[in-house]
Amino acid sequence: MKVATVNAGADLADPASQAWNGVTAEAVALAPVPLAAQPTEYIREAWANRAYGKTAEARVAAATDGKKLYVRVEWADDPAPNAEFQDAVGAVLGDGPLDTLGSAASPLALWYWENGRGALNLVSKGPGVVTKADASAVSGTGASGGGKWAVVISGPASASKGKLGVAVWNGSNEERAGLAAVSRNWLPLE
């Protein structure tokens, strides 16, 4: 995926900013994190006959102003209202197993945004196995409307030469932790 270089004065943090009009977005196929990889037997049994990771595709764009990497993710929003769990998205960075959101041996950086909560900088060591990292390193802004979400998550520009993956959680389907839709393949950033 091409990381566009944009004027430092552009408001890339705003998902509705016109600065994104000149940045090419790619359609990225998503699939559920494998049920067998879920961290507890309870989750594996409770979700054995339930669909999760329902978001099949997201549109992803990346840009930098030289200081930060900005990742914009857009996806169709389920019209059902959210109850206990909120819609969320993550930019996944690293080189470990993407389909399971990392492992203990190959953890991944997870820049996580949740509706109503904001952004978190996490280290993911598998489905639902995360620890917090430097909170000030990432930020995020989201907007919903017209049946879709658009979210921008940003962090250090040094991440713009690695690999990118995306994860989406559908809150109205009670998706959380490892119950997500994740990109099927890494997107090498260039």
pLDDT tens across 21-71, in order?
999 999 999 999 999 988 899 999 999 999 999 999 999 999 999 999 999
Tokens describing residue 126: 């598998």
89 close to 149: Cβ distance less than 8 angstroms = yes
Could you list the beta-strand ranges (E) of 52-178.
57-64, 68-76, 88-93, 108-114, 118-124, 130-132, 139-145, 148-156, 163-169
In the CATH hierarchy, which fold is given to the domain comprising 3-188? Immunoglobulin-like (2.60.40)
Reported as type and span, the H/E element at residue 33 is: none
Phi-psi domain of 21 (left: phi exceeds 0; alpha: psi -120 through 50; beta: other): alpha
| Residues facing 63 on adjacent strands | 4, 70
Spell out the domain ranges in the chain.
3-188
**Residue pLDDT, tens place only, 150-168:** 999 999 998 888 999 999 9
